[in-house]
Amino acid sequence: MSFKNSVKESKDLEDFFTLASEENNSKLIQETTKNIELLRSQVQKNEIKCFLSKEVDINDCFVEIHAGAGGTESQDWADMLRRMYMKWSNNRGFKCNIISEHKGDEAGIKSTTIKINGDYAFGWLKSESGIHRLVRISPFDSGARRHTSFASVWVYPVVDDSIDIHIQEKDLRVDTYRSSGAGGQHVNTTDSAVRITHIPTKIVVQCQNDRSQHKNKETCMQMLKARLYNYELEKREKESLGEKNQKKDIGWGHQIRSYVLHPYRLVKDNRTNFESSDPDKVLNGEIDNFLESSLFNINV
């Protein structure tokens, strides 16, 4: 629905409501009120689309998650975050695949990369990049003490062929290794996992989700292009703004969002001040309100 159509429908509904009120027609008042709410919802969707209009907002994305210091606690938290984004992806009908993972020593994951395929996946999730903090009673602590854990999330757009990114072979170091995947029949039994290092920028990408070394290398090159594209965007922002929102230490004082499960229950975004008193829903992928709040905030 266009802006002009929205304005016209708004005026029509206003006239209907006035007429219904004058005639004290409760049925028409109820129907008009319902249509006003539908129009409000449509206008909000159109407003959000306006904020998803940058070059690669429509693209698929890679989500990279790293556990912070703290061993098993942070590694379990990183796994919880991965589950949250995969749940969000499934709720939207998007396709989601685990590209790589480095399992924790006892539980959880030290790092992982997932790929999410869906319209505007990058546009929706780009504001999730940053440090995420969890406060809870540890399930791994026999003394049932409260622990604070950190994990970082970085989101990159999948770059298609319409964006030309030139990579020279001499700038790459390609290593192969045996996958330490999710277990069972999906574990690779050959050295098919691939790690590529871009020497000039020191960017490292890896993929182990396929038994074919060739396909894993192909996915790695997609990821590398995404990272290099994002690297150039950040460099331009640094030049235009005179400063850069660098990847900070995964710890105190740098978190973009806090998830508190004890002594009270609250999820709060430190950039927008948007909050939810139902962490269970948030951790089950219901993060749209946080994403919308961030979209409005970064475009103001």
CB 212 within 8 A of CB 192: yes
Q: Would you say residue 31 has pLDDT above 80?
A: yes
- If one counts the domains in the chain, the total is 3
> Residue 162: its pLDDT value, please?
66
Which is higher by pLDDT, 170 or 297?
170
User: Would 247 be classed as within a structural domain?
Assistant: no
**In the predicted model, what is the mean pLDDT of residues 284-297?**
91
User: Would 234 be classed as within a structural domain?
Assistant: yes
Q: Which helix (H) or strand (E) holds 269?
A: strand 266-269
**In the predicted model, what is the mean pLDDT of residues 32-57?**
77
For the record, the structure tokens of 130 come out as 């940053």
Which is higher by pLDDT, 144 or 254?
144
What number of other Cβ atoms are within 10 A of residue 234's Cβ?
14
Q: Could you tell me the residue range of the domain that residue 229 belongs to?
A: 169-241
Q: What is the pTM of this model?
A: 0.77
Which is higher by pLDDT, 19 or 212?
212
Examine the domain organization and report whether 15 and 151 are in the same domain. no
> Residue 296: its pLDDT value, please?
77
Quote the CA–CA distance of 212 and 191 in Å, as a whole number.
9
Quote the CA–CA distance of 198 and 172 in Å, as a whole number.
5
**In the predicted model, what is the mean pLDDT of residues 67-87?**
95
> Residue 163: its pLDDT value, please?
74
Query: DSSP 3-state assignment of 156?
Result: strand
What number of other Cβ atoms are within 10 A of residue 220's Cβ?
23
User: Would 163 be classed as within a structural domain?
Assistant: no
The confidence band for 276, taking pLDDT boundaries of 50, 70 and 90, is very high
Examine the domain organization and report whether 116 and 237 are in the same domain. no
Examine the domain organization and report whether 148 and 65 are in the same domain. yes
Examine the domain organization and report whether 126 and 270 are in the same domain. yes
Which is higher by pLDDT, 30 or 123?
123
Q: Would you say residue 251 has pLDDT above 70?
A: no
CB 68 within 8 A of CB 110: no
Examine the domain organization and report whether 235 and 183 are in the same domain. yes
